[in-house]
Amino acid sequence: MSTGHATVKLPIPLANRLQALAGARNTAALVRVRRPRGAAQRALAARNFASNDYLGLSTDRRLRAATVRAAAAYGAGSGASALVCGYTDLHAALELELADFTGRSRALVFPSGYHANLAVLGALARRRDAVFADRLVHASLIDAIVLSRARLRRYAHRDPAALAAQLGASRAALKFVVSDGVFSMDGDIAPVRDLARVARRHDAVLFIDDAHGLGVIGPGGRGAVDLHACGEAEVPLLVGTFGKAFGAAGAFAAGPADLMEAVLQHGRTYAYTTALAPAATAAARAALAIIREEPWRRAHLAGLIDHFRAAAAAAGIGVLPSSTPIQPVPVGDARRALRLGDALCERGFNVPVIRPPTVPAGTARLRISLTARHCATDVDALVETLDELLRREGASP
Ligand SMILES: Cc1ncc(COP(=O)(O)O)c(C=O)c1O
């Protein structure tokens, strides 16, 4: 987009770098485009299959009211790091409520899940340690491991036996095992109980990032860890986010009090960043109350997931195995996936096209996410349109 400013003369190595980056993006159909969304598009929620707002809480009147009240009382921003003066009684109350909800001794609130992951591993892992990560963990976990300087080892997706073999062969001083609870681009659930058993046998510390599971799966919406009946003894490090099922923004880490104290004292992305805004903190509190009190949202979502899978199967549409609201339709080729995404968009459906490097090369997909704001008719309309477009794609040269 032209800004109307004179072109800035860049050092030649930087200009060359930009050219190389642009070339790589263009040849592999990997250019990303942002589409500004207006507030009025809320009305189009029925055709939005792109959002992680799984319980439909981001527009809930109680979250909006809590946000407005907190902004009026505390101001728009928190003003400083939590260790300076950014920590309010709203943050303190939310931490207690989260510890109670997750059955952990202590919780710490962060401005985002990215911050939380970096803080946990940054505070606890060191150069001589090793972190064993599922091959498909979220990018923020990879960055957290790289920044911690611990050795990164990746094990085959959802494969406790492969993990056990790697752990057994490791001489690292301290070993961590890291996995998403619900995998963000695949929608499948980590075998948390088996990971915990293997980790315990090898004296490793298990860290589950359940950004996409908390609020949605497990008893009472307590996520993948509770689904596998794992408390903090089995999973000492747990991260959850408020940007997805909670419908707000921000995140938390939870676990034994001494581990959380170390994260508070030594987590650089806890100390050296502005604390979560009071308004978002209040919204997360309101969301947590709803998650606890309104199980019908999860029940409705579970019904929609079954409905979608049955309708897709009846139409012969392949969907990756997933019992969560993330229902990926594998396409393979990035260009073909883009064509399908654009065609869906022309019909009024917002379905994100996920391409490398977010997913491995050759595994581009449409990432359909269902939310409690959808109904069966919305799902039918999507499946019908997708079926027609896939048939047409199949027939095209
Ligand atoms: C598994 C996982 N962890 C962490 C994050 C980062 O959370 P946040 O958006 O709060 O930074 C995301 C997505 O954004 C995610 O999918």
| Residues 198-251: tens digit of each pLDDT | 999 999 999 999 999 999 999 999 999 999 999 999 999 999 999 999 999 999
Same fold, 61-293 and 295-395: no
So where are the chain's domains? 61-293, 295-395
Instruction: Give how far the C-alpha of residue 26 lies from the chain's centroid of Cα atoms, to the nearest Å.
Output: 27
Ligand 1 center from residue 71 Cα (angstroms): 25
Alpha carbons 177 and 120: distance in angstroms, whole number: 13
Atom of ligand 1 nearest to the CA of 117: 4
Atom of ligand 1 nearest to the CA of 137: 1
121 is written with which tokens?
Answer: 């591993």
Q: How many CB atoms lie within 10 A of CB 159?
A: 16
**Ligand 1 atom 9: residue of nearest CA:** 113
User: Does any ligand 1 atom lie closer than 6 A to the CB of residue 114?
Assistant: yes
Choice from 52, 109, 114, 239 to test ligand 1 binding pocket (greatest atom count within 8 A of CB): 114
User: Does any ligand 1 atom lie closer than 6 A to the CB of residue 358?
Assistant: no
Ligand 1 center from residue 120 Cα (angstroms): 14
Ligand 1 center from residue 396 Cα (angstroms): 37
The whole-model pTM stands at 0.95
User: Does any ligand 1 atom lie closer than 6 A to the CB of residue 232?
Assistant: no
Q: How many CB atoms lie within 10 A of CB 17?
A: 12
Q: What is the pLDDT of residue 1?
A: 47
Ligand 1 center from residue 119 Cα (angstroms): 14
Instruction: Give how far the C-alpha of residue 337 lies from the chain's centroid of Cα atoms, to the nearest Å.
Output: 22
* C-alpha distances out from residue 340 to 184, 270, 389, Å: 21, 41, 7
Q: What is the pLDDT of residue 397?
A: 46
Q: What is the pLDDT of residue 33?
A: 84
Residues (pLDDT < 70) of the chain are: 1-4, 40-43, 395-397
Average pLDDT, the chain: 95
Question: How confident is the model over 55-90, as pLDDT tens digits?
Answer: 999 999 999 999 999 999 999 999 999 999 999 999
- Burial of 97-119, coded b for 16+ CB within 10 Å and e otherwise, reads bbbebbebebbbbbbbbbbbbbb
Tokens 């594998």 label which residue? 330
User: Does any ligand 1 atom lie closer than 6 A to the CB of residue 95?
Assistant: no
Atom of ligand 1 nearest to the CA of 112: 10
Give the CATH fold of the 61-293 domain: Aspartate Aminotransferase; domain 2 (3.40.640)
**Ligand 1 atom 3: residue of nearest CA:** 211
Ligand 1 center from residue 110 Cα (angstroms): 12
Give the CATH fold of the 295-395 domain: Aspartate Aminotransferase, domain 1 (3.90.1150)
Q: What is the pLDDT of residue 170?
A: 98
Q: Report the SS3 class of residue 49.
A: coil
Ligand 1 center from residue 304 Cα (angstroms): 24
Q: What is the pLDDT of residue 35?
A: 83
